[in-house]
Structure 1
């Protein structure tokens, strides 16, 4: 992970409304972004430390104190944005050295009263923090003594009891339900197993019951009705029967009978020889016909003894002729046929329901009653036909129109078909009785199980068990969390104890750095054993070598504090480098109050301990010191990474400050490639000589002109006239060779660079045209050596063609 740029700093310290894209644009939508090594140069109070604090907020995952409404955006190489609102999202290892690091880790430097004694107790702040943290962890852990349990140990004991109680409650509910199920399945006279003749399972057990329970709890299950129960019980009790007798056939052809009767009723006998009186009176005709038969061989009436004349005999024979006789014979035959039908087997159909299985008795009883009722109705229909024929017999001389009775044959046949179908079922049942009885027993058993579940309120019991089980998991999770926390605490304590030892090793590394021949051989960091409330512990103190002996070092200078602080930082960061974490490292001005030798020593430490092996992800270094900047340009950039040679990329930045805000820009060439203040001062004077218009952009150049001009002339004249002069004015007089120039320029340099004695100068605006003339005069003097002037132009990245002050562009 790498930092690409600090996109915006809307509000943080001296930075206000800073936009990276505007200030570091390279054109074509390109910007001058961070690389592997990044160097910042800026004068004191320009904002270097503010930048380091922004980056350190990534390390500490928090904004430093006393910053009101900080607002910034850091863009990473993957284009993700880290702001003051999501510092937690940055997880890459990062180490920042700045004043905050020193305050937090080397308290003795800022504690005048405690002096070195404070440092011996709280090396880097870490040892005491570690000790305090160990005690905090132990306090959280509490006591594990049975009689005085406290803290986390007591919480674990209480939570463990809760878990056991919850498990016991759940197990009791499970056992209670299991007993009820086991009793119902196998134990006692009421168990399903003991009633196997009704429920069909002699090997029935609890597992079978649980399977039946799942069936009756299905939404599709329907409880049996009373009628269904009685039916299934009758099937169970049924014994195998013989095939029921076949029913007598029903052979009556009622429609044929109606047709023949209709023909008879339509037949009419008679003619001119018929006796009219008899034709008109059917009863009389029937009486006379019987009488004729009785008087067949008589000549006198047996009733009145009157003689029967021959004529009368002839008239009667003609009236009761053969046609009439035939009709009457037909009628007599029809009546006889119907009477035979009434006595036939078709009207004697019946059956015994005991020949059928019990489950059919109710229906068969109903069908038998219907059958007899319809046969009786059919008999009545035949009797009505007889009556029609008898009426025709009395009225042979007229056509009879009649309403024929209803034919019940279809009803009778339908009933007989139903009975026959039941008979077939009974015959079939003889072979399927075992299966039907088995199904009946299953149905009765499931119904019994269903009623049993209602009796014991099974659903509520299972709900109680489920709820009791649900209570266990959160308690076990909480117990696991507590135990994990205990294990973590115990592990942390061991790690922190080990870290106390590793801190001792770090101090050895600091000692080695301090004792380097180019470091500070007279200072040493030594371990001492002290008594504390936690027993004997190793502490450290700074000792000074004096007369070959070591004593506590008091009154450390600022340079010594700076050197110790930076060596401590290097010792701490070394572990991250060696572990392969490839951290981001930001070092803010580490050479405060150091002499030139120790400035070079700090540079050497950075180069050897950090840059030489290239185990970092990015390196950022800021400084206000031009000598240190000169050394930083020589940092090692050729490293071996992953077995391959690699040349690290370097970016250089300039931090400048106007009155109330700072900005970051690309380091100008005179600073980037040249390393003397002389180049910088020439740049400032050249800028003032090139324009006489004051603007926001060049305000600071004019504002600082007098100081810059004075320092430039002193440096320039000294190298030109290195002879010792008692007074600088004598060197300047020789340099200018013009008394007016000397006095005029001296006035600007002295009056504008000092307000003391010229109080009104500090209360008025600067005279820009006057400074512009002085700057041009200085440039004119430098141009006397045109080769040197051209070199100075090149050092500040200005070409001769673009220099408006160059002699080649001046009119003769």
Structure 2
């Protein structure tokens, strides 16, 4: 059962509704009284929204909370899933089901109770259908939640991947705007590649992050870094070993041999003397002794000269080799960041091998210089590890050059290489996250649930087909029409209006008279009677049970005379007394009294509690409505007159009035005086002014009362230029006294009793 309306905003006249303090919760039977315009029909639309399982089209931005006993509360968010079995009679129901302009109504599906076996099977299938629907709905909810959770996770993972690329400082908009949609597509397109093998080691990830940075570098010039000819190098070292060990046979001069520096000096001097053919010593200008030049030429023989030349050439060769070995390597910073670690290691090894080669070259040069200094001496020397040392040099040089080649290749294919690196990183990030979060297990679970939902849905379709097949056997629209016509006859007391099932329309035709002509030009009372009986008949549709239903009826007595009022009350009582919960809204005090007395009697007899409410509305420009516990004058007296007298009497103590109170007082005063004076002066009088003239002999008081009421009641426009508004508002409290004085002077006994009623029924 519905317990309360705990919240209602942006819903017509209920802009910010909250229950008033002390408001009773809804009970089995609930009767509401409110004047036209107080908000009854608007409130009925809220209940119709629950019935319709959709927010009402007139209030699509509303918010509400309808509390349900022992069940999930209904809000604008979950209204489509609510399980409240509620049926609402209001204008929305009539517009949807009965077309008076075309004289037709929707079909009423009544199930035949005569075919017991089929009915039992039908009820069994209906129960099974409800059970399977609930199971399907529950499974669907679980699946939807799992899918929503996975979507949230995918969004979170995509955000993490996006941040990883942002930290790398990439300029690729694809990764800078990475989101769930891109991640989902990547997973779909790369399902086979997403595995633990795609999760890279930290060092590789670090290199890739460096590789995809957007700054492009220059090519590295490497033509001066060349590999050595190992054969030539080995030949050079073998040659030096031979040269320094070579012995020169000549007429040697012992002093020159003993003094290499003198030997060198003399050798240079001999060359000068031979060139100039000098007979005298160029140093002292003394004539050279006979045979001196010949002796020296014999000392510095051709073999000697060749040795010296060979040693000089070898020294030059080693100086060139030293240049080739000690080539300067590119700085690490010149290469792309991802090559730095291996380049640093390769460069260190290369420089080590450079130093080892340099040592051998220095050793060779030293031996050459020693031999040049003492050419007649024999130097026996063997160089160690020449082959291995220079092989290592070439090997480390190749390693260095291969890294430089990779750098230069990336430079030539920069955009493509960056893209490849980005794709590898994306695959790594995705694989790492999905494996860690066990995405495959979650996806499989959701897919299994989807398959199961399809199976359940197919079973429901088949079950629904079986139910419809039995319904086709059980349904008898003619029974629905007969039941409706019987009720309408009792209601309006004649048989000239009826309905007849039309298979082409898949509904009923409204007809009038024996010739079955369309029922046109229906009175408002006839329309209301037809719609109300149609609603009650439809409550039993498809085997629905009244005792399992919540029923709300919004003013089912429009344009009814007193006889129809009683029929409406009796019909409602007869058909809806066993309802799980009943709500009745009315503006008619006579109808309110009939329902009220019935419910009060039930309270005493059956101890079934009924609650009574009034719907009250403010009268300012932005009107608002509230639901209140019914005042005791509504519950204890038999006319609306008591209620109006009570409301007016409660306002007589006001010192000043605002515009809202002025409208209220004017309308209450008019209602009270019209009712009282019409009773006191039963002769026909044409208007309110004539009634007032009959009841009030004081022309000044009469004019004041009439002017105030005429200004503030029932008028669409106030003529402010005639009388200042402040003057009229200032007279408001006096007007109440004048109105009550008119009643008191005409019937003192009546007035005194009414005043006692008001004093004994004051409500805080």
TM-score with structure 1 setting the length: 0.47
Q: Please identify the structure whose Cα radius of gyration is greater.
A: 1
TM-score with structure 2 setting the length: 0.50
